[in-house]
A and B are shown apart, each in its own frame.
With several copies, the nearest count.
Chain A
């Protein structure tokens, strides 16, 4: 609505230093060296409110209320000049709005000044440091002679009851197996293609349990199809896997 350039000419304002619209308005209004007649008050404030909103610091309700007051202020004269021209639907007369704005600015200013005072006071008190040492151990516990009942024994029984309850089985439905049988089959076949025989642990011992299990499963499949045989001399001993030549099936792990 108004030229931004004029605003820059009139006063050099760093909007970032103001911490709220009342803060901004107060400092503009009370600046001795500038005449408010020269300043695009409405635009400055509107721009500032916009900036706050961009930064997520303005609550819509607070902003609306504030802008209504400013708008009413800026309408003041025209309303005075055109008495009874149109009955506005807003409940508040501009003169009334200005009064409220003044009251709000004064209220704000009271807490701004109180805040400054608190801030200074805080500075003057920061040098006092308090001890934060824990109590010596002998003072940390209640003495048996003076102790009184403060806890309910049922609390213990309840806690133990909770512990007796086995926890629910974790829901694994969202997990999908990441080891595929097909893939393990092709791994086994390619190993057997290069070597006639191999030791299972040498080859797959460093894989995780799941991968090893699926590989065993794949091995069973190869055995069933007659592509490989395997033997294990003793429980938990090494497993030797051998490629089956034609006509040599089912020598199997009976060895």
Chain B
């Protein structure tokens, strides 16, 4: 007696439409679901295995879906990439997507990100191994996320092949800086160092101690 009404999802109340020139066949529907859920290209072979059908059946279903998702028909398109199939949004909606989705891409900086960004900002251009030496730990993930967020960018390679970083124009914008000269004087947080060479040396010395600890 307890669960009448709850059990019934809204779904079941609507009878499936059968008209359906525009509806997809069962297997094409399944393929669409699978491509929707996967964020990597999926081969037709994997689709066939997942659906437990023969490859040629999948091929027919994919052809049906491709026709249905032909450019200009829907918000999604199907693409063949890297040997597999993947769904993508129609490029037409890119501007709207940017407005909808790119806003919250400025989460607070983690301590690792703040340190890494400070090193790049004050010492730029600076090579990745140097960042690691100063922080006393590998800084790969902080460097990657700063770079993915567009706050730092590669500015070439060192003689030894290491990536060299500098801050980006976006960095100045989100920190409200009118040029790099506007970076606050770090001496406020440390009384002594005055020139960049000295800061660099002290940073490296402190970093080496950190990594030994």
* Distance in angstroms between the alpha carbons of A150 and B102 in the assembled complex: 14
Q: Given the known inter-chain contacts A57-B138, A126-B94, A159-B114, please indicate yes or no for A140 contacting B186, CB distance below 8 A.
A: no
Interchain pairs with CB closer than 8 A, number: 355
**In the complex, which residues 122-168 of chain A have their Cβ closer than 8 Å to any Cβ of chain B?**
122-144, 146-167
The verdict on A183 contacting chain B, using a C-beta distance below 8 Å, is no
Whether A151 pairs with B119 at a CB distance below 8 angstroms is no
Whether B210 pairs with A41 at a CB distance below 8 angstroms is yes
Describe B's contact surface by its main secondary structure: helix
Whether A117 pairs with B2 at a CB distance below 8 angstroms is yes
Whether A130 pairs with B88 at a CB distance below 8 angstroms is yes
Whether B122 pairs with A144 at a CB distance below 8 angstroms is no
Closest-CB distance, B189 to chain A (whole angstroms): 3
Q: Which of B97, B136, B177, B182 has the most chain A CB within a 10 Å cutoff?
A: B136
Residues from chain A with a CB closer than 8 A to the CB of B91 are: 126-128
Residues from chain A with a CB closer than 8 A to the CB of B117 are: 115, 118, 156, 159
* Distance in angstroms between the alpha carbons of A135 and B129 in the assembled complex: 29
Which single residue of chain A is at the shortest CB-CB distance from B33? Answer: A129
Residues of A bordering B, CB below 8 Å: 2, 19-23, 26, 29-30, 36-37, 39, 41-42, 52, 56-59, 61-62, 65-66, 73-81, 94, 98-99, 101-102, 104-144, 146-167, 170
Known: A121-B6, A161-B186, A166-B209; 20 extra A-B contacts, CB below 8 A, are A62-B138, A76-B204, A108-B135, A109-B191, A110-B186, A111-B118, A115-B116, A117-B3, A124-B9, A136-B6, A136-B89, A139-B94, A142-B170, A156-B118, A156-B183, A156-B184, A157-B183, A161-B188, A161-B189, A166-B205
> Nearest 7 pairs between A and B by C-beta?
A161-B189, A127-B91, A77-B211, A149-B176, A133-B39, A115-B114, A20-B137
